[in-house]
Amino acid sequence: MRKPDLSLDQCKAISHTYGPALVIAGPGSGKTTVIVKRILNLIRNEHIDPSNILVITFSKPAALEMQSRFEKQAGGYEPVTFGTFHSIFYNIIRHHMKNVAEGVATDALKRNILKKVLRDINLSDNTESEYLDLIIKRISYYKNSSQKADDRTICDLDTKSFLRIYELYNEHLRAASKIDFEDMMLMCKKLLSENKQARLFWRERFKFILIDEFQDINELQFDIVRLLLTKENNIFAVGDDDQSIYGFRGSKPEIMREVDRYFKNLTTIKLTCNYRSSSSIVKASDAVIKQNTVRFEKHLHTENDIGEAVRIMAFKDEESQFEQLVKTADMYGNKTGTNLKGNVAVLCRTNLAVSRIAREFMKRKIDCHVTQKPYDPFESVIYKDFTHYLRLSYSGGEFDANDLIPVMNKPLRYISRSMINKKVMDITLLKGLYQDKEYVLRALKKLEYDLNMIRKMDMFSAFNYFRRVIGYDEYMLRMSGDNEERYEIYTKQADLLMFCLKDLTTYEAMIEHAVKQSQNMEARKTAKVNETGIYIMTYHASKGLEFDTVIMPGLMEGEIPSKKSITKEAIEEERRMFYVAMTRAKTTLIMSYIVGKNNEKHIKSRFLEPVFGEAKTIIC
């Protein structure tokens, strides 16, 4: 059944009918084409009832895109079921369990529950969305995984604290008659394990199961899939272990690597021809991923032209890197033609870096698209605390309790909450209350002096004074304890806010800028990658996408791999992220790092070393 536009390996995968099959599909190898044509082959040539075919993806957009491509090639609607793990499993439990919670908890509801839990048990005063999302991710991981909670649980929470939060979070969910995605899967597994009639019903319904991005599957999802399989084990799993980058969600690439333990007579097919990228990009990315030792052996290649050489650029400092980054992205973004359509992506390791770069483009009035909600420093606890200090400084010594209470002990001044018994507290009265406690009185006098100082400053200078002289940085370091990761995140957030305040003089200008910037960032997050322009996103967000030009800045040790990645397993996952980002590029790949100067020297990422032999190096 081979056609001129299909390789022998693709044809082998498409024509596979019965029994288990594992398709190892490298970047740009046409895995979606293979899945769609395999479905068509089952229906047209093997006469399989379309309603007996289930296609599972990891995201709703991916499911809709695959269904759309299938129906286009099929010439119309066919009753094949396309859906995510979550949607499929939810439909299963709703079919059998009439009293199941009427809906899945939204992210907003889960954050609100956590805010209440943290407040009730007085564990943390941090209610930033990003902090709450970290806890939600850890709860998800804990439910998805057979592993127990450990001291790596989350930021400043030890195991005991996390488990208490976990318990109360679930209680609040039940009280609201809601379930989260993980509850849904646990209920589905329990149903199919214990209810033979339900199990046989769904096995009869879905006799052929196809799974996309199989490398991202977790233990719980895999357990449920196996319960759905008939004795023929008609599973067709497509993925690439080199692109497994969701370990923090509980994904287990070893399931894919060891799948032959679960299925006898497994057919394994490797798709190793990259139809997306130029030869120079394929060679450079292959040199990188071969440094990983725990992976399927594969020899990636392409029939595409060699194209532009991969470029590695070294800069003396961050400012010069930003200047060149913006110029280069804008240049490629404005190019048109057969090979360069102006489709450019700037890919970053973290969301904080995305936010910083997006603001560089906005500052220069160059339009860009941000495909996920970037980190907004004007929504952070740091910004809120700084604003409280500014309001106190402009108050003339009459402190609004709503501004005083949140920051009166940031840094620690030993001011008792019980002493703040009025809506407005006069500084003279407050000092009088502590006449017999010299150490508190001394702290209050310094606070009064510091507030007078920052009132005279522009916003950039005031924020620097707030951090360094008043001692907010030192306070955050103490609050972080031994958790270097938390303090590093704080420092990067504070540096980003300092950057945003650089050209602002007054408090009014800062408020106006905060509102405007938040609106700009909110507007950019809705962009879809279906047009020309400049896209800014994380490595994770770029997975499954492709661009004519990819730019990867900030490639230093500590950034990629991150400081917290110290085990072999963690380093290999970081290298896979790096590889995913590289392989998004079709014709042009530009990578850069900062050398640094004086006492701020940086070390280029170890992941760049294999690329130097395949790249053109430029010292800027």
Q: What are phi and psi of 402, to 5 degrees?
A: -65, -25
Kindly report whether the global pTM for this prediction surpasses the value 0.85: no
pLDDT 10s digits, 576-603: 999 999 999 999 999 999 998 766 788 9
Q: What are phi and psi of 282, to 5 degrees?
A: -60, -45
How far is the C-alpha of 40 from the C-alpha of 37, rounded, in Å?
5
Enter the tokens of residue 446: 């310094």
- State whether residue 422 is helix, strand or coil: coil
Distance of CA 89 to the CA centre of its chain: 24
DSSP, residue by residue, 556-579? BTBBTTBTT--SHHHHHHHHHHHH
Enter the tokens of residue 149: 């909670």
pLDDT 10s digits, 78-123: 899 999 998 999 899 988 877 665 677 888 899 899 988 888 887 6
Predicted local distance difference test score (pLDDT) of residue 153: 45
pLDDT 10s digits, 130-166: 678 778 888 888 887 755 555 444 555 677 888 888 8
Which residues contact residue 549 at a Cβ distance below 8 angstroms, ignoring those fewer than 6 apart?
329, 332, 333, 340, 343, 344, 345, 585, 587, 588, 589, 590
C-beta atoms surrounding 56 within 10 Å:
27
- State whether residue 272 is helix, strand or coil: coil
- State whether residue 500 is helix, strand or coil: helix
Q: Which residues on neighbouring strands pair with residue 594, listed in sequence order?
A: 315
How far is the C-alpha of 344 from the C-alpha of 336, rounded, in Å?
11
With a cut of 70, say whether residue 338 has pLDDT above it.
no
Distances (CA, A) of 270 to 126, 353, 584: 47, 35, 20
Q: What is the 3-state secondary structure (H, E, C) of 212-229?
A: CCHHHCEHHHHHHHHHHC
How far is the C-alpha of 510 from the C-alpha of 521, rounded, in Å?
16
Give CA angle at 88 (85, 90), nearest 5°: 100
Beta strands in 371-518 (DSSP E): 398-400, 424-426
How far is the C-alpha of 131 from the C-alpha of 341, rounded, in Å?
39
Mean pLDDT, residues 459-479: 91
Enter the tokens of residue 55: 């296609």
pLDDT 10s digits, 541-561: 999 899 999 999 999 998 999
Q: Comparing C-alpha atoms, which of 328, 334, 330 is closest to residue 362? A: 330
How far is the C-alpha of 80 from the C-alpha of 77, rounded, in Å?
9
Enter the tokens of residue 504: 């602002």
pLDDT 10s digits, 514-537: 887 776 666 555 455 555 678 999
How far is the C-alpha of 280 from the C-alpha of 308, rounded, in Å?
7
pLDDT 10s digits, 120-132: 887 665 666 667 8
Predicted local distance difference test score (pLDDT) of residue 127: 65
Q: What is the 3-state secondary structure (H, E, C) of 342-364?
A: CEEEEEECCHHHHHHHHHHHHHC
Look at strands 369-370 and 615-619 and give their pairing: unpaired
pLDDT 10s digits, 179-225: 888 888 889 999 999 999 999 999 999 999 999 999 999 999 999 99
With a cut of 80, say whether residue 2 has pLDDT above it.
no
Enter the tokens of residue 340: 């360069």
Helices of type H across 249-350: 253-257, 279-289, 318-333
With a cut of 50, say whether residue 374 has pLDDT above it.
yes
Contact 71, 85 (CB under 8 A): no
Rg of the chain taking only CA atoms, in angstroms: 27
Residue 251 has what DSSP assignment? B
Q: How many residues does the chain have?
A: 620
Q: What are phi and psi of 356, to 5 degrees?
A: -65, -45
- Average per-residue pLDDT in the chain? 87
Under the banding of pLDDT at 50, 70 and 90, the label for residue 355 is: confident
How far is the C-alpha of 419 from the C-alpha of 404, rounded, in Å?
12
Distance of CA 279 to the CA centre of its chain: 29
Q: What are phi and psi of 35, to 5 degrees?
A: -60, -50
Contact 454, 390 (CB under 8 A): yes
Order of strands, edge to edge, in the sheet holding 533-538? 369-370, 533-538, 343-348, 547-552, 585-594, 310-315, 615-619
Predicted local distance difference test score (pLDDT) of residue 520: 66
Q: Comparing C-alpha atoms, which of 420, 418, 425 is closest to residue 392? A: 425
How far is the C-alpha of 259 from the C-alpha of 267, rounded, in Å?
11
